Amino acid sequence: MPNPGKYKSVGLNLEAYGKLVFIADQEDRAIGRQLSRMIDQEYNRVSAATGQQMTRTETVRTPVGSGLGGYAVIED
């Protein structure tokens, strides 16, 4: 079972997910690794443009009202 302190789930619409799968396939990466790489690149760009960086508390903060939204995953 994944460690919730290390991994978080995000929702993507099907079009964005399809694009992510295509890019990951072209670059021979798992989709999670591809998404992390793309986020790191954009973070570096935004951080350089604004001169700001994420604080330690922002790395672990869970948005208020976040959750499963009425959905559950049941695994054996």
Say what the pLDDT of residue 6 is: 86
Rounded Cα distance, 1 and 36, in Å = 20
Using CB atoms within 10 Å of the CB of residue 49, give its burial: 0 to 12 exposed, 13 to 18 middle, 19+ buried: exposed
The stretch 13-26 carries a mean pLDDT of 97
8-state DSSP, 6: T
Kindly indicate the confidence band of residue 59, based on its pLDDT and cuts at 50, 70 and 90.
low
Residue spans of the domains in the chain: they are 14-52
Rounded Cα distance, 68 and 74, in Å = 12
pTM for this entry: 0.68
